[in-house]
Copies of this chain bind each other. A is one copy, B any other.
Amino acid sequence: MAHPRGGPERATIRRVAEVAGVSPSTVSRTFSHPHLLRPSTVERVSSVAAELGYVPDGSAQALKTGRRGVIGLVVPDIANAFFPPLIRAAQTAAEKAGLSTIIGDGNEDGTKEAAMVGRLRGQTDGIILASPRTREPVLRSLHEVTRLVLVNRDLAGVPRVLIDSAPGMRSCVRLLAGAGHTRIAYVNGPAASWSNGERLAAIEDACREHGIALTTLRARLPDHDGGRAAAAEVLELGVTAAIAFDDVLGQGLLAGLAERGVRVPHDFSLTACDDTVSATTYPPMTTVGCPIREAGVAAVELLVESLRGSDDGDGNGDGDRVRRLPAEMVVRGTVGRCRER
């Protein structure tokens, strides 16, 4: 009915030109450079175009101009609560720059991730890789052939935005120290995660400074169930507080503790990182508020810069472009005074 056969007959620039009684160039200019045309012409052509349901064919535009108007955004796992806000912010920022966003899911797998980038290369103007699991040399060779921006991966020479969770992590340790805790545990995140390394280092450092004994462990999987299972292990350690790699793990820990009758923050203290779900736990969780949205926007900005930088023949912009965004602690309700158990 709507599409009798062969799909909707897409109106072309030529058809609009015919009906409007102008040349194809004029139709083109109506959409790309209306300021070069007499207002009345723009008006007339526009209305004809609307009537015919004409939309410029992106493929043809891309072929001619070399700009596809599409960027790629590859994340390890769309369903991980960390990424949707980032995606949303990036997508909005990109749209403002007239860019659409293709999402790629790397499935927490560096190889798949790299393959995605390879695929996307032919359909996009540039790609943002968030928390890439890809190995460094591969990442570098990808950067040779595509405009790349990294999020939370520190690779000199590649434009990148880094969320610096160290200050927030230090604050957490300080908060725990102030509450009298002297033995705490850190529950690690994914091994391939740059952020995990950074967080661990900051915590180790702060613990040294405050004379706190730190034990580290790794959940079976860095997800909710992993955290829940890790609760038992944490309790056996004889610590009075724990810091989780991220909110998901923290929330799992919280559930695991509740299941075992351990009341937070009365009997045990807990902090996490990211502020993705900690406002919705009960009790609300003290965490480190990562500027996830800002990171998404910054990544798009870097990419857009890089895109523009290649429009003029000038090859500047050689500076090592990095944007560091500090993450600060958000105090909620999961830290209490130390009580020996």
B280 engages A252 (CB within 8 Å): yes
Instruction: Check if B103 sits within 8 Å of A147, measured CB to CB.
Output: no
Q: Tell me whether A4 and B315 are in contact (CB under 8 A).
A: yes
Q: Which residues of B contact A282 (CB under 8 A)?
A: 254-255, 258-259, 282
Which residues of chain A from 121 to 168 have any CB-CB distance to chain B below 8 Å in the complex? 121-123, 143-147, 157
A residues 52-90 near B (Cβ < 8 Å) are 53, 55-60, 62-63, 68-70, 77-79, 81, 83-85, 87-88
Q: Tell me the residues in window 8-36 of chain A with beta carbons closer than 8 Å to chain B beta carbons.
A: 8
Protomer copies: 2
**What's the Cα separation between A252 and B281 when bound, in Å?**
9
- Contact A6 B313, beta carbon cutoff 8 Å: yes
* Chain B residue contacts of A146, Cβ below 8 A: 8
Report whether B144 and A5 are in contact in the complex, using a CB–CB cutoff of 8 Å. no
Please tell me if A340 contacts chain B, counting CB pairs below 8 Å: no
Of the candidates A77, A252, A258, A315, the one having the most CB atoms from chain B within 10 angstroms of its own CB is A315
Whether B310 and A3, one on each chain, are in contact in the complex, defined by CB atoms closer than 8 angstroms, is: yes
Contact status of A5 and B85, CB under 8 A, knowing A92-B105, A282-B258: no
In contact, B118 and A91 (Cβ under 8 angstroms)? no
Contacts of A258 in B (CB 8 A): 282
Q: Residue of B at shortest CB range from A126?
A: B7
Chain B contacts of A53 at CB under 8 A?
A: 144-145
Chain A positions 93-118 with a Cβ under 8 Å from a chain B Cβ: 100-105, 118
Instruction: Pick the contact of A102: B59, B101, B118 (CB < 8 A).
Output: B101
A266 proximal to B (CB < 8 A): no
Q: Of B2, B103, B118, B157, which contacts A101 at CB under 8 A?
A: B103
A119 close to chain B: CB less than 8 A: yes
Q: Is the CB of A68 within 8 A of B79?
A: no
Contact of A78 among B91, B279, B310, B315 (CB under 8 A): B91
Tell whether A224 is near chain B: CB-to-CB under 8 Å: yes
In whole angstroms, how far apart are the Cα atoms of A60 and B100 in the complex?
18
Q: Which of B2, B5, B57, B255 contacts A280 (CB 8 A)?
A: B255
| Centre residue among A3, A59, A60 by max chain B CB count within 10 A | A59
Residues of B within 8 A of A224 (CB): 279-280
Instruction: List residues of chain B with CB within 8 A of the CB of A55.
Output: 118, 121-122, 145
Mind listing 26 A-B residue pairs with CB under 8 Å?
A1-B157, A3-B310, A5-B310, A6-B315, A7-B310, A8-B147, A53-B144, A56-B122, A57-B63, A58-B123, A59-B59, A59-B60, A69-B123, A78-B84, A79-B85, A79-B88, A81-B81, A91-B103, A100-B102, A100-B119, A100-B120, A101-B103, A102-B102, A252-B280, A255-B280, A277-B280
What residues of chain A have their CB less than 8 Å away from a CB belonging to chain B? 1-8, 53, 55-60, 62-63, 68-70, 77-79, 81, 83-85, 87-88, 91-92, 100-105, 118-123, 143-147, 157, 224, 251-252, 254-255, 258-259, 277, 279-280, 282, 310, 313-315, 318
Closest 6 A/B residue pairs (Cβ) = A5-B315, A59-B62, A58-B123, A7-B310, A55-B122, A58-B122
